[in-house]
Structure 1
Amino acid sequence: MTGIVFLLCMSFGLMNGPVFADKNKLSNASYSERLLCLSTSLGSHQTSQVENSDDSQRAVPLSRSSSWWTDFPVLPLVFANSNTIPEGPCRKQVQRYLKELANSTLWAVQMFDASTKYPDGVLHGHTKHLGNFDQCYNLRAKLSPDEFSDTAEPDEVEGRYCLVRLRYQRKGVVPKRPEIFTLDFDPNLSVWNAIDYRGDFRRVKRHSVYLSLCVPASCSSQDVAAALTDPLKKLADAREIDLNVTVKPSLCQARSDVPKDFTMGLKVFLIIVVALCVLVVAGSWYDISIYSLKEPAKNNELGDFFLCFSARRNLRSIFFTESSHRGLDCINLIRFFFMACVIFGHRLMQYCGYPLVESTYLEKAYAIPFSSIIFNGPIIVDGFFGVGGLLLAYGVLRELDRSKRLNFTALILIRFLRLTPLYMLVVLFNATLMPMMGSGPYWEARVGFERDNCAKNWWTNLLYINNYVHPNKMCMFQSWYLSVDYHLHIMGLFVLWAYWQLPRRLGYPFLCGLIALGIAIPFVITYVQDQQPLFLGLPFMREARNDPYFVGHYIKSHMRIGPYMVGVLAGAIVYDHKDATWRLPKGWSRFLFILLAVGFTVISQYLATKYFDPNSELHPLETAAYAGFHRAAFALGVCSIVVLITIGDGLDFHYNFMTPRWVPPLARLTYGAYLVHNIKQSYDVGATRSPRIFAINSCLWEFVPDMVYTFGISLLLSVVVEGPIRKIEKFILTKRPTKYPAEASNSNGIKKSN
């Protein structure tokens, strides 16, 4: 009974202004229940504070007006009592909902109970209030006919879960930029100090609050917005507040919206997966039962084709750990470590999309000077570009010295065939099966957004142009790296051919000139366009593809020429000194290792500290210089590890540390890991039902299963897809079966990796 009195009291108090509920409606209520209703009405209308444009104004009690904070609207009651719901099934079911709510009918109270009543913790950044998603999403009830039904047949009601964004600010007041940004505010000053957005990009936007609302499934997001806009606007106008109501279709979900039938794309995906599994089983059976029992028949191309899918052979290729080159062997640890950093960094970025119960912890983390080493983590991809350029240079120069020519078409095609099959399979998974694997408040906004992008723009991924064509609708936000790497790979082939043609006294200056060009491009763009020098990825950003810097500068191939050419130069040095007897002295080797490998990588990250501080004075030339140099400097630090261990003396400890036997198998799985690691993270964001607390402990606790899940799936994909594709490519080129590593020994007993 207490709950019914409360509902009646709140509905009358909200819709009729500062008046008490009708005495007749409370005549049967107990003394405590009537007291509850009266105190609710009095509490919401007798106190307020001066909401003055002067932020130094202290809060004082008033009786002549209501405060936005003490009389915040109860969203489900505003919706149920709204007269602006469009005519149709939605309006009829809402009228039925209001009637059944007054009668304490289970389904109606369940719908009300699943909605957010009042936000809490907004001042500390708790701006996403999720209510109870499953209670609303799984609601279904058969209704007996009543006066609102057009037919005598029973009606049915289902729940639709919506997240309504209320964006509010003081009417006629433009927040001023303070002289000094702070994350701590005087508790005796106006609350608007902590609410208004004044340009501090570290802070979660507290003037934008998301509240959950459970409504009948017959109501669309447009119906919900129409029902709420006018009543809430009147309520806000009375309190000198500008209020904007937004209900996105992707944040308004019902179970009935989910397709029941398999789409053609899903059928194609399942057929491909089943076919690959059948080939792996057949290839493994042939390898174990037939091939190993007899001498393989010559020109048995069908049998050799099946051997490409042998799980035993592909697993042995993955776990092959023999050394091949002192310096290049160090790349395995670099690749694995950077991949782990990427997974951790993207998990950290997910906290920008998670509902956080205490965002102040995330905000204050940016105020710690050394935090820039973590928050400037995106620079790690420049280490990948440097390593990619180094490996390309070493391989191409070796091929040029061997054959004296370069087949550009074949090399570009081979690169395409190695990357694309697994890549497209993951794209197809995101477009078809992934959306059917869960649900949650942000499922459509996160997983559905990925589904739509992959379904519409998969061809840009296939052609490796997604970082220039429809970048804001890119399928798989991390896939930009593959496009940039592919573009720079093609550019590197021509650069290395030109370098090989030149005498070395001109070749090295030629490569240095290209590095200078790669540094000059971001320098000029940043200076001329007055751009930020790096990707900030701050708390207010929920989706990277909506960030102007990300889609306009960060993912562009021409912005990454510098670090890639640094890698090409390093690869040329390593190759040219592969047979040299001269070694860099021990002292110089150790000094340069500390200066370059440690100093350049750490300093290039740490210098970003000032760009995470809104109080810093930024000079255009200094900002442009950092934009131009920091990526190339980081790549130089990473590539110097390989160069110094190749040509330096006294670095045996460094070499042993960089080449543990357990690393090469994991390094071979990094490509698959890069493609799939975001799947689990997107699933977690889309399926989350409750807010979280940002803490390093939480990040690490989620990082460990991220690694196990990612590399476990990558191992499976490598055996089923990536390994067979690589072996098929070699089989086509060499016209001979792929052997075990143990079978590929030369006369000196040195084993060759597949």
Structure 2
Amino acid sequence: MGHRVPRYSSLLWGVCIPSSCSSFDLEEELSQRVSDLGISVKVHNNMCSVKSFKRPYSFGKTLSITFFLAILLLLSLGTILDDGKEGVTNFEKLLNAFSLKRNLRKVFDLSDSPTREKGVDAYRGINAFALLIAHKSMAMAHNPYVNKVSFSAVFGMPWAVVGRSAILYTDSFLYLSGFLNARNLLSDLERKGTINLKDRLIARWFRLFPLFVSLMLFCTYILPDLNNGPQWNLVVEEHSRVCEKNMWKSFLFIHNYFGFEDMCLTHTHQIGMDMQLYVATLPLMLVIWKYSTLGWSLLALIAMASTVLRYLAIYWYDISMFVYYGISVQKLLDAARYSYILPTHRATIYLIGVVMAYLMKTKKLNFTLTSNQTRLLWTFCLVLMTATIATPYKWGLEGYQYEHFPAAMFSALSPILWGVFMSVSHWAIVNDYAGIGTAFLESRVFKFFNKIAYSVYLTQFPIFFYNVGVQRHAEFYSPLLLLHIPEVFTVTAISILTTVAIEMPFNQVYRIYFG
């Protein structure tokens, strides 16, 4: 595959030749030079690029440029004409929505909102940071290093289990999504006694789609023309070709059913999965509200079925949700296709979030803990968290041989154990049992990150792979490269820009025209 999941090649060659030469010329020349070593050579034409080449204007590219020019026009008008007053007409409100001055003030305003839930910002920030490191590690595996063996050895150490268990951090976001969605739906049910499906779906569309489609259009039609490099065709051009062919699946939020090989922006599988779980939650919450016994029975049945499906998928297809030592690229892709990116297999922890929202909303868990009980509760949470992450650490060590049963049990039980840790610790935070950790969990850093979290999630991969594509030298690997300061700064800056220029304006457009 290579364009998103690395091939883990030991040697990477970047060769400069005259643009009049073809891939066959290079293949023949290299074959002659390494023939004495018994090495065969194959040069793929789609890996060759010409520095000055510009792709012709297609309908998609023309549409993308028009879209971004329209956004720039609205941002310019909104910012220049912003006099600080609230608009009267819808057009004035629209221009205010695209005011960069106004949106920057909002994004840096860290005062608490009335609907803010304690702990959510911290959980989102901590897990996003863990995923950022995991995603960066995947991007780094594409790069050439003079000490490539050391690079591989580092990720074979016992502590690397923290990265190999990265599925747990995506489970955290499913828990938060289930919790927040259920809490909002319960508020609707308390006020109105019903759920307006149309309004809910429109609101969700405005929340997810504008920034999502902006990034797809940019990565498909704009980014490939911005630079070049030895691996540019692999990690940028190839992904653009996949997007051009399969983008329509993402428009319908069904792209997570087609595997990573044919997915535009592979890291956005979570958006499709989240959208589908959100839609399924709407009628489920209505049933729970009106027919309590039936609703809770249905929820329990779905959670159990999801657990069984995870177990069976792992066992039948010889795959693993833990990235064990020596796992092949094909097995990683199979794990994604048959379980990781399917809402039916990931629903359990989402539903744990739904249950927790109901228990907190209805105040069914209102009781007081003593100091000793609080310490015992946090000890339980920390032990459960550590055990869930670290139990399969031996699978990451050299010499591990894949076994069906342990892999299937980890896949089936880890979301439940992680969900128990998330829900219990979340309850403790909400009820002010965090003690000395309160200052950390309620820090302004997490509050700020919460405002740009969606943009950070979407933009990090294109930035990582842009840097992979343009790299023209082999460097010395060091764990410090995981937090490359200029790259972290770039991700943060672009996330702030996309938040104030696209995400916040379109959320405001929804409020203007749909109430």
- Code of the residue aligned with 1:574 in structure 2: it is M
Q: Render the CA deviation track for 1:651-700: whole Å, top value 9, x for unaligned.
A: 34333321113422221101011111112211111111111222212222
CA distance in 2, matches of 1:318, 1:493: 30
State yes or no: 1:390 paired with 2:182.
no
Question: How far apart, CA to CA, are the structure 2 residues paired with 1:327 and 1:591?
Answer: 27
The residue number in structure 2 matching 1:441 is 230
Give the C-alpha shift of residue 619 in structure 1.
Answer: 4.4
Aligned counterpart, 1:266: 61
Q: 1:595 to 1:643 in 2, by over 3 A?
A: same
1:479-494 map, 5 Å: 479-494=268-283
Q: 1:211 to 1:413 in 2, by over 3 A?
A: same
Name the residue aligned to 1:634. Answer: 418
Q: Relative contact order (alpha carbons < 8 A, sep ≥ 6): 1 or 2 greater?
A: 2
- Following superposition, the deviation at residue 373 of structure 1 comes to 1.0
The 5 Å alignment of 1:6-25 reads: none
Choose from 446, 451, 454 the match for 1:668.
451
Query: 1:559 Cα shift?
Result: 2.2
**Percentage identity across paired residues of the two chains:** 20
Query: Which amino acid is the alignment partner of residue 425 of structure 2?
Result: I
Tell me which of 306, 322, 326 is aligned to 1:534.
Answer: 322
In 1, Cα distance between equivalents of 2:7 and 2:508: 51
Q: Distance in 1 between matches of 2:222 and 2:401?
A: 49
In 2 relative to 1, CA 687–204 (structure 1 residues): closer, same or farther, beyond 3 Å? Answer: closer
**Structure-2 residue corresponding to 1:60:** none
Q: Which moved more, 1:598-607 or 1:532-541?
A: 532-541
C-alpha displacement of 1:360: 1.8
Aligned partners of 1:622 and 1:470: how far apart in 2?
24
Report if the CA contact (8 A) 1:319-1:664 is conserved.
no
Alpha-carbon contact 1:472-1:551 (below 8 Å) kept: no
Letter in 2 for 1:278: L
Structure 1 residues 502-651: aligned runs within 5 Å: 502-503=291-292, 510-536=298-324, 547-577=333-363, 582-596=367-381, 598-616=382-400, 619-647=403-431, 650-651=433-434
Q: Deviations 1:389-439 (Å, cap 9, x if unpaired)?
A: 110111111111111011223212321222111111111111122111111
Residue deviations 1:118-155 (CA, integer Å, cap 9, x gap) = xxxxxxxxxxxxxxxxxxxxxxxxxxxxxxxxxxxxxx
Partner AA of 2:306 in structure 1: G
- The letter of the residue matching 1:708 is F
Supply the distance in 2 between the matched residues of 1:233 and 1:663 (Cα, whole angstroms): 54
Matched-pair contact (CA < 8 Å) for 2:46–2:233: yes
> Aligned equivalents of 2:12 and 2:135: distance in 1?
24
Question: Any idea what SS the aligned residue of 2:49 has?
Answer: strand
* Amino acid aligned to 2:279: I
**Structure 1 unaligned runs (5+)?**
1-201, 735-754
**How many angstroms apart in 1 are the aligned matches of 2:313 and 2:512?**
46
Structure 1 residues 283 and 621 mapped into 2: Cα distance closer, same or farther (>3 Å)? Answer: same
Change over 3 Å in CA distance of 1:617–1:400 after alignment to 2:
same
Shift in Å, 1:731: 1.7
Whole-Å separation in 2 of the counterparts to 1:525 and 1:455 = 31
Q: Residues 144-185 of structure 1, C-alpha deviation per residue, up to 9 Å, x if partnerless?
A: xxxxxxxxxxxxxxxxxxxxxxxxxxxxxxxxxxxxxxxxxx
TM norm structure 2? 0.90
2:91 to 293, 299, 302: 302
1:415 paired residue number: 204
- Tell me, yes or no, if the aligned pair for 1:601 and 1:637 is still in contact at 8 Å: yes
Q: 1:270 to 1:545 in 2, by over 3 A?
A: farther
Q: Which runs of 5+ in 2 are unaligned?
A: 1-5
Which residue number in structure 2 is paired with residue 699 of structure 1?
482
Aligned to 1:249: 45
* 2:375 aligned partner, one-letter code: R
Choose which of 488, 493, 498 in structure 2 pairs with 1:712: 493
For residues 32-81 of structure 1, give each alpha carbon's deviation from its aligned partner in whole angstroms, at most 9, with x where no partner exists. Answer: xxxxxxxxxxxxxxxxxxxxxxxxxxxxxxxxxxxxxxxxxxxxxxxxxx
Is the 2:220–2:243 Cα contact (8 Å) retained in structure 1?
Answer: yes
Aligned length: 510
| Largest Rg, 1 or 2 | 1
Partner residue of 2:3?
Answer: none
The question of whether the paired residues in 1 share the 8 Å contact of 2:246 and 2:264 is answered with yes
Matched, 1:352 2:141: yes
**Residues 60, 221 of structure 2: 8 Å contact kept:** yes
Give 1:721's match in structure 2, choosing from 481, 499, 502: 502
- Mapped to 2, the partners of 1:733 and 1:244 lie a distance apart of 62
Contact 1:204 1:539 in 2 (8 A): no
The amino acid that maps onto 2:443 is P
Contact 1:394 1:575 in 2 (8 A): yes
